[in-house]
Structure 1
Amino acid sequence: MLKGKDFFILTTNQDTQFVKLYPEEKVAEIQGDHRFFQCAACCTDDTWDAVKPVADMVAAMGDGTRIPTELIPKYPHCGGEAFPWVRGYGNFLQGKKYEEQYEKISRYVLERKEHKILFLELGVGRITPMFIQEPFWNLTHSFPHARYIAINNKYDFLPKQLEDKGMTIVADIGKVLQDARFVMTENEEVTSHA
């Protein structure tokens, strides 16, 4: 569905699935990313690769559940415990890496504020609305040609100010996207035969 379209993905998922499918410059992971470590004490504003050390630990475990002590990741600067660079454990390093993620989405949106733009929200709940949902509402309300669609399986909430610029769909996201893809394909076929 995104093929040939100008798009950007803002995600609070920390599982790296979007960067496996799309270029990193088209994805902002504002809640962190399990591919990186940070110092548990946040003694500096550094993050480093977690993929290789974790792979080494898993390989060393074999069929067991123990990791050799020398493979437990430590921060090279202070020798402290390495920690996943993800929000949710109480010590998320909201430094330069976070700012890079925030800057990517901000720049993308601000460069397009006068164009037609669709803020498509997939599966966002009400636990942390301040990261995606509320900014999307504010931007849709503020930008003259913006529209908003929220798809999730629970919430049918649309601010009154967005009633003429948005909609909510309470359904299975996969089914809705499959239906949208079908309609797009049908329209492409009709256009190509016309």
Structure 2
Amino acid sequence: MPDLFAERRETMAAGAVLLRGFALPRETALLAAIEAVAAEAPFRHMMTPGGYTMSVAMTTCGSVGWVTDRKGYRYSPTDPTTGRPWPPMPICFQSLAAEAAAEAGYRDFQPDSCLINRYEPGTKLSLHQDQDELDMSQPIVSVSLGLPATFLFGGAKRGDPTAKYPLVHGDVAVWGGPSRLTFHGVATLKDGNHPLLGEKRINLTFRRALG
């Protein structure tokens, strides 16, 4: 069978690809699932260990959730706001993450955490590494929904040259292997109005946190 995404796959680096429009067939289910998760675990602006409030609002679903506060960055099985377990990961989330990872060459990816970031115009995410997970052999799967954004993808060091990739609604980025600890981020979000999400962008980041 022909690979329907061959012409829509863009290589960013060794082990890192963009799958253009990969999430579009599931957009209705994904948006409904995001609303359901946020109803149980509302978006919030977390604090960094240095005492700064993050401009991007976050929530989580899955067995564990990534959290940050004065104590540091870590994964927690409970929502620190409510003390309850995070909402379970929706089936449509699990299947999308696994299929995108497989399309990028990472078989049998089973995420146990999905960080949901909400961006509004003027917000950004500084360059960082995803390094709080126990098993670095597992990839990262990142799904873009809503307003367009510019994805920054650098190297193993913060000061390495950074490439810029435009992301639009439905695009999925996957990176792992030699690119697993690449510094990455999101440039300041520009004004706009998406027909489904209005003046915001939602990003789903799937990880295998517990190994």
The structure with the greater share of residues assigned to helix is 1
Sort the TM-score into its range (normalised by shorter chain): under 0.3
Q: Which has the larger radius of gyration?
A: 1
The structure with the greater share of residues assigned to strand is 2
Q: Which TM-score applies when normalising by structure 1?
A: 0.27
Q: Which TM-score applies when normalising by structure 2?
A: 0.26
**Structure with the larger RCO, 1 or 2 (CA within 8 Å, 6+ apart):** 2
